[in-house]
A and B are shown apart, each in its own frame.
Chain A
């Protein structure tokens, strides 16, 4: 082995070198992402042309030719864009429905108090989480209901038939989101239970609700349910819709959560048991925090569907945002060419803000909960 030519010993540390070429900057990014190959270049040009056609068109409609002030007559001209004054004029109806104008302060208070409670709740660094949660999940719903419907403390009673617009959409969304999530978790745990009764009930419940369309559920609760009720007993229509939406999405949520429970390695369940943690403690501290984190995208996807599907309650005669916008437009004083499209554009904007903020929040949560255990 004396004259082996492959023997080698490194005698000094290799020099640290800068990376080759430019890997940052606008030109590099353009070349790398938009024009890296012939097919990419063609795609870039086609999409670019499409945007060149679309963006000015949207601009003309939404801003350029849009009517921001004046009367309905200003919207009755040729080539008119969005009729924003229609929205401005009917904003109260779109926001509150038939809620009496003198009592608008009540939904306003409910809204702002809710916002003040929600922001620190979802912002991880805020203190007093438990007190905050107790306020929002227990005290707030009761107080909000009392304030909105009235009938006590000298407040005028306002039946839910008069509630409407964005207010009802927000109520349906918030109650649906807050209610369907725990229902989903409980059903998911039930479906994986070792107890035959609990398991069978969970499976039947989940499959039944998932097997029917939401519209059918809403019809059932609004038309069929009263038939089975004893005479004189009525359940509020909005409440029935709330329960219907919440339970329906609870069933969907259950399957999303179950996916997370199944994705968790068996070793986590075993380690928790081996330490002496009982079922509920290991679920609370070990299993659910991890399982729910796995399925944040699925959970948020379901919640976004829920928010959008609240507009289906209009078919049982509840004046949600979309229904209110449509009704507002049926006023003959506002028979202008673009009022419907303007109304829908406004609704799109509201739903987009709601759903997109949910989506961004899920990204924030995923980043916050990432403890780098994926290798």
Chain B
């Protein structure tokens, strides 16, 4: 087991703009618990994410990684503890939830594009109807982000006509059109072919290079090593270990982490 066995996702990463803020907190989770009826899925989660951090959450399936990031935009409700996103506490107050969701973008494993709308409509719907941006302006922004994810020529197609990698890049662009402060990625490459994984990871690296605060659940350890400033390891609903990527991969402390890494790194 060695950190050298992790393949790079891109040739080199420009870290000049990846600055972690010293005092601005993006997400603060304090003593958070969650149950699915009797099942205790998240146990005493404490996590403070500063602005500009790139966090990768790793762990075996069923460890609660997805549930954790889905609590950050309240797709899942927590039952105990507190979650602050951009200084707004998540409670049952729908207004606060909508406020948080406007500022937090999310990319899903299965893309979840709206199949009845064109790519351009997928990108402009929320800016127009949530932010109240005029249509022409929203379309210009949408084209800008489509160019960034390198598929402007697909603007008038429907999601069903695109490949998986293209759909996921559209999904990223769709989130970016809302100009979010934080981006959540829930296994964005797990449903993709190897060739398409790369094109999506490249987009994510670009995003990190622009200084976006990112929380990613992913099995792409190359991305974790090259981009993340912190890797969090979860098992059985708990954060068991967190560290900088170098230290995390070369010198894991917890037995469970060692076992996990030995299985995914050869």
Report if B174 contacts A (CB, 8 A).
Answer: yes
| Shortest CB distance A374–B (Å) | 7
Contact with B along A265-299 (1 / 0, CB 8 A): 10110111111111001000110011001000000
Size class of the contact patch on chain B: 20 to 34
Flag if B102 contacts A276 (CB, 8 Å).
yes
Report if B178 contacts A (CB, 8 A).
Answer: yes
Report if A369 contacts B (CB, 8 A).
Answer: yes
Query: Interface residues, chain B, CB within 8 Å of chain A?
Result: 73, 75, 94, 98, 101-102, 104-106, 108, 110, 112-116, 125-126, 129-130, 158-161, 174-175, 178
Flag if B101 contacts A273 (CB, 8 Å).
yes
- Contact status of A373 and B160, CB under 8 A, knowing A273-B75, A276-B126: yes
Flag if B114 contacts A286 (CB, 8 Å).
yes
Within 8 Å CB of B158, what residues of A?
371-373
Size class of the contact patch on chain A: 20 to 34
Give Cα A372 to B161, complex, Å. Answer: 7
Flag if B159 contacts A277 (CB, 8 Å).
no
Flag if B130 contacts A271 (CB, 8 Å).
no
Question: Taking chain A's interface residues, is the majority helix, strand, or loop, or is none over half, making it mixed?
Answer: helix
Query: Interface residues, chain A, CB within 8 Å of chain B?
Result: 265, 267-268, 270-278, 281, 285-286, 289-290, 293, 369, 371-375
Within 8 Å CB of A289, what residues of B?
116
Query: A275 is contacted by which of B126, B160, B161 (Cβ under 8 Å)?
Result: B126
- Contact status of A373 and B115, CB under 8 A, knowing A275-B174, A276-B102: yes
- Contact status of A275 and B116, CB under 8 A, knowing A270-B108, A285-B129, A373-B158: no
Flag if B130 contacts A274 (CB, 8 Å).
no
| Shortest CB distance B86–A (Å) | 13
Q: Which residue of A lies closest to B70 (CB)?
A: A270
Query: A290 is contacted by which of B116, B130, B175 (Cβ under 8 Å)?
Result: B116
Give Cα A375 to B102, complex, Å. Answer: 32
Within 8 Å CB of B112, what residues of A?
265, 267-268, 270-271
| Shortest CB distance B192–A (Å) | 15
Within 8 Å CB of B110, what residues of A?
265, 267
Flag if A373 contacts B174 (CB, 8 Å).
no
Flag if A274 contacts B116 (CB, 8 Å).
no
Q: Which residue of B lies closest to A270 (CB)?
A: B75
Within 8 Å CB of A275, what residues of B?
101, 125-126, 130, 174-175, 178
Q: Which residue of B lies closest to A284 (CB)?
A: B129
Within 8 Å CB of B105, what residues of A?
274
User: Nearest 8 pairs between A and B by C-beta?
Assistant: A373-B160, A373-B115, A271-B112, A267-B112, A275-B126, A276-B102, A274-B106, A371-B158
